[in-house]
Amino acid sequence: MDSRRFPFVDGAAGVLLDADGRITSWTPAAEQLLALRADEVCGRPARELLADPATWPALLAGRTADAWSGRAVVRSGRGEELRVVFQVLPLADGGTGPTSGTGPDDDNGPNDDNGRSSDNGDDGASRYFVLAAPAGLVAQWRQDQAFTQELFLQDRVGLAVFDERLRLVRTNTHLLPYTGLPPNLNGHRLGDFLQPDDAATVERHLHEVLETGRPLVLAEEVVRTIEDPGTGAVMAVSAFRLQAPDGHTIGVTALFTDVTELHRSGERLAVLHRATAAVGGSLSVAGTAEELAAVLAPGLADLAVVEIAEAVFSGEESAPDRDGRPALRRTAVATGPDDVAPDPSDPSEALDPPGRPGPSEQPDRRGPVSGSPATEPPTTEPPTTEPPATDAPALPPDLSPALSPAAMTAPLRARGVLLGRVTVRRAPHRPPYEPADLDLLREITARAALALDNARRYTRERRAAVGLQRSLLPPSQTETAAVSTASVYLPTDTATGIGGDWFDVIPLSSARVALVTGDVVGHGLEASATMGRLRTAVRTLADLDLEPDELLVHLDDLVSRLLVETDEPDADPDDEHGGSPGGPPGETPGARPGDRPGDRPGGRPGDEGWPAHRRAVASGATCVYAVYDPVSRRCAIASAGHPPPAVAAPDGTVEYVPVQPGPPLGVGGLPFEVTEVELAPGSLLALYTNGLIHGRGGDLDDGMDELRRRLALPGAVTAPLPELGRALVAGRPANARADDVTLLLARTRAVPAEATAAWPVDADPAAVALVRERATERLRAWGLEDLVFTTELVLSELVTNAIRYAGGPVEVRLIRAECLTCEVSDPSATQPRMRRARLTDEGGRGLYLVAQLTNRWGSRYTRQGKTIWAEQELP
């Protein structure tokens, strides 16, 4: 055992022996260790303390000329055996230190009966100082010594011991992995060789440990030396306070672990997580590109540029041009804290503003990043303003990934379609890009490309649905003798697609006009197709001049039939069995187990057992139908579960028409009611869908109150209808775009009394001549002499037929508005029918002549019978 490395163990016992090996002094630590007082052991031979005194010669056998140590088993005053490690230090008179010799009770000399040596030896020592400690404590101390030694010798973790003033006292060989450190760090502070900011940050942590005693565990800090102020390294700093045995603070120990690569890997993973969460939340191509750029800068770069193929914005797949590259549009640019300017030496880096055609549209464009991976650090010199010569290869036609120390590029490709590319750049003082960074960029662009492709497909489908929707709607502005109209249609911006809102302005006979708005449940192409069918049905029914309630009854029956047809098995060409989707061949859709073949659900939508998806469709279709007569200035309105129209009077007061809403279309079983109101000329009638009145909390009453308030604003009634419509739609909450918005505004007009003429006709064929005379007088008074002959002939045929087949009373009315309308009313409910007369027939040519001489003609039922009308263009 190395006698020079006896441990400094707290509580080590000290014993002073004379030359004969007798105990002369006994320390309190020895008294505590062996439970023996000094007066009990002083003067006794030391060998008597051994558990087996016979081992004494063996202990002396290990002695040396200098201090020597060994192990022994002693017996305490409690009778317990205690294993100790001891060290013997020979003392010479005069304090000259250890001397050479053999030691107490040298076995080379004879011993007397008391165990005393008869020869004191030739070591010249007059006394011996013995230190002893429990063997377990000594082993622990030696382990601590070995641990500390190896810790300072290893070069994987930096180790530093600071005094209470944070001056370095001791370090290992790998304090910091940097050049430019002083050869001997002892006595230095961190600020002597680290950047001031970095040194201050680390010392702040160490000072806190000194003050509080709380250990610091793995605090990551960037450290840079004064001579190498580049990117530095990320160090995980751990520290704990050092205390003396008496408890006062003597310093702090710090461990420095280089976690730069681990930190960069964590940053890359964090960027990937942010990209996964942030990119793809929008179904807008431009929005997705902006999300991608915002994630990359500052996450992975100081400058991120996203270029999208032009065709993607229209929902189409990109196609290469003559040079094999697609035309790209610079869509999004994002920068980090360090604004990186384009490199003038690379013509591909001449950044265009977002939304303008990108540089890759030019035939001679080069890619923003090209060449093979490089590991040399970026230059710290400022970029020159003169474009130096460059031999960088052009970007491959397929926009394959490329890497350089300061920039990277990767394509945006999904499902085999090239959608664009992404270019990122770093400032010169940032770490150079590594292959792992390029792998990260490729992973992010692969995920972003899927989101872009989803946005592209959504754009294509939305454009098709919106195009279909708009093609099925009438012009946004119309002018008739009854009303002047303007409409606003705003498709929803949700991922579910556009809805089934529609409106229509249908000219009717006798200068009247029908105003319609409706809403079909659902979104997408199916809703648009259903809307088109309903609008066509309404136009067809309106051409029959039905009353509003009667028209809704027919429309309700039509929707019910459509729902039944929808529930029929689909003829799916992909179904080899020819059966319905989701069931065995020949199975009836909606059939329940146990039903007989051919059975089908009965009842109407909403009945128990009616399929849930059919109930949802049936309960969602709504419609409001209004007919305005400019002659009587009355408006008849009927509603099928639709919000009531709003009427703004010329004086600015706004009220909702108290329409009694019937059930939604397709439900059936309940009648529809007609509400009539009189509208003054210049009144404003607003028909809308519920998308306009969805309030911020989804409350329709709040939305209706807001619409009333905006219609009542000064000047709203007289404002141009297109501007008023846009203002009403723009006033909606920003978060209320979950449904389509349809608004139809109609400003009423009136046909003056002097523009109409009406008189009764006796049921006598001779009265036809009087009718012709009165009509001629009225036409000449209106300045319509050119229409006298035709009007006389038309009225003669219509009045003659009324008298012949319906009897009296008969009434004739002329209306001069956009056209000249001739009306003949009679009490018969039989509709006239035009037929082709044969050469030998004496009659049957009257309605044929009317049809040939007028623009259009028809008949409508009235409460008293029917009215036959014919229209002629004004000269």
CB-CB contact of 418 with 375 (8 Å) = no
Q: Name the more confident of 619 and 498.
A: 498
Q: Which two tokens stand for residue 421?
A: 């590319």
Mean pLDDT calculated for residue range 676-684 = 95
Strand ranges of the sheet holding 810-816, from the earlier edge strand across to the other edge:
756-761, 810-816, 819-826, 865-873, 856-862
To which residue do tokens 């002597």 refer?
192
Q: Can you give the residue ranges of every domain in the chain?
A: 13-141, 156-258, 264-376+395-462, 473-568+612-748, 754-873
Beta bridge partners of 22: 45
Residue 4 has pLDDT above 80, yes or no: no
Q: Name which CATH class applies to 264-376+395-462.
A: alpha beta
Mean pLDDT calculated for residue range 139-154 = 79
Q: Name the more confident of 312 and 384.
A: 312
By mean pLDDT, which of 408-412, 459-463, 561-565 is the weakest? Answer: 561-565
675-678 vs 417-425, strand pairing mode: unpaired
d(CA 652, CA 682): 11
The pLDDT assigned to 487 comes to 93
pLDDT in tens, 574-604: 444 444 433 434 343 444 334 433 344 444 4
Report the percent of the chain where pLDDT is more than 70. 76
SS3 (DSSP) at 516: strand
pLDDT band at 403, cuts 50/70/90? confident
d(CA 607, CA 615): 8
Report the percent of the chain where pLDDT is more than 90. 31
Neighbouring C-beta atoms of residue 793, cutoff 10 Å: 16
Mean pLDDT calculated for residue range 605-633 = 67
- Greatest mean pLDDT among 95-104, 252-261, 795-804 lies in 795-804
> DSSP 3-state helix, strand, coil percentages of the chain (rounded to 5)?
30, 25, 45
d(CA 665, CA 672): 11
Q: Which of 149, 148, 97, 158 is nearest to 123 (CA)?
A: 97
Strand ranges of the sheet holding 303-309, from the earlier edge strand across to the other edge:
328-335, 303-309, 417-425, 407-414, 402-404
The pLDDT assigned to 146 comes to 79
Neighbouring C-beta atoms of residue 460, cutoff 10 Å: 15
CB-CB contact of 793 with 849 (8 Å) = yes
Task: Work out the burial of residue 714: count CB atoms within 10 Å of its CB; fewer than 13 is exposed, 13-18 middle, 19 or more buried.
Answer: exposed
Beta bridge partners of 90: 128
The pLDDT assigned to 301 comes to 87
pLDDT band at 99, cuts 50/70/90? very low
SS3 (DSSP) at 149: helix
The pLDDT assigned to 697 comes to 58
d(CA 453, CA 191): 54
Q: Which two tokens stand for residue 361?
A: 């549209």
User: At residue 822, what is the residue type?
Assistant: C
Per-residue exposure over 389-405, b if at least 16 CB sit within 10 Å of its own CB, e if not: eeebeebeeebebbbbb
d(CA 554, CA 802): 28
Three-class SS string for 378-436?
Answer: CCCCCCCCCCCCCCCCCCCCCCCCEEECCEEEEEEEECCEEEEEEEEECCCCCCCCCHH
Q: Which of 24, 275, 257 is nearest to 157 (CA)?
A: 257
pLDDT band at 341, cuts 50/70/90? low
Neighbouring C-beta atoms of residue 200, cutoff 10 Å: 12
Mean pLDDT calculated for residue range 844-867 = 87
Mean pLDDT calculated for residue range 415-428 = 88
SS3 (DSSP) at 65: coil
Report the chain's terminal Cα–Cα distance, integer Å: 133
Q: Which two tokens stand for residue 33?
A: 């260790």
The CATH number, out of the four listed (3.40.50.620, 2.60.40.10, 3.30.450.20, 3.30.420.40), of the domain defined by the range 156-258: 3.30.450.20
Q: Which two tokens stand for residue 81?
A: 């055996």
User: At residue 266, what is the residue type?
Assistant: G
To which residue do tokens 């309960």 refer?
619
CB-CB contact of 497 with 467 (8 Å) = no
The pLDDT assigned to 644 comes to 95
pLDDT in tens, 454-465: 988 888 887 877
pLDDT band at 695, cuts 50/70/90? low
Same topology, domains 13-141 and 264-376+395-462? Answer is: yes
The pLDDT assigned to 111 comes to 44
Q: Which two tokens stand for residue 251?
A: 């310093």
CB-CB contact of 367 with 400 (8 Å) = no
pLDDT band at 62, cuts 50/70/90? confident
**Homologous superfamily in CATH for domain 13-141:** PAS domain (3.30.450.20)
Mean pLDDT calculated for residue range 510-538 = 87
Q: How many CA atoms lie within 13 A of 342 on its CB side?
A: 17
d(CA 348, CA 365): 6
Q: What sections of 473-547 are H helices per DSSP? A: 525-542
- For residue 812, give the DSSP letter: E
The pLDDT assigned to 668 comes to 75
User: At residue 104, what is the residue type?
Assistant: P
The pLDDT assigned to 822 comes to 95
Q: Which of 499, 391, 502 is nearest to 738 (CA)?
A: 499
- The CA-based diameter of the chain, rounded to the nearest angstrom, is 179
The CATH number, out of the four listed (3.30.70.600, 3.30.565.10, 3.40.50.450, 3.90.1150.10), of the domain defined by the range 754-873: 3.30.565.10
Look at the domain 473-568+612-748 and name its fold.
Answer: Phosphatase 2c; domain 1 (3.60.40)
On average, the pLDDT of the chain sits at 78
E strands present in 749-816: 756-761, 810-816
The pLDDT assigned to 322 comes to 64
Task: Work out the burial of residue 304: count CB atoms within 10 Å of its CB; fewer than 13 is exposed, 13-18 middle, 19 or more buried.
Answer: buried
The pLDDT assigned to 223 comes to 85
pLDDT band at 69, cuts 50/70/90? confident
pLDDT band at 606, cuts 50/70/90? very low
d(CA 522, CA 538): 20
Q: Name the more confident of 296 and 734.
A: 296
Q: What is the CA radius of gyration of the chain?
A: 52
pLDDT band at 784, cuts 50/70/90? very high
Neighbouring C-beta atoms of residue 691, cutoff 10 Å: 23
Q: Name the more confident of 865 and 125.
A: 865
The pLDDT assigned to 417 comes to 84
Listed in sequence order, the residues at least 6 apart from 278 whose beta carbon sits closer than 8 Å to its beta carbon are 291, 294, 295
Residue 427 has pLDDT above 60, yes or no: yes
The pLDDT assigned to 257 comes to 84
CB-CB contact of 729 with 474 (8 Å) = no
Mean pLDDT calculated for residue range 641-670 = 91
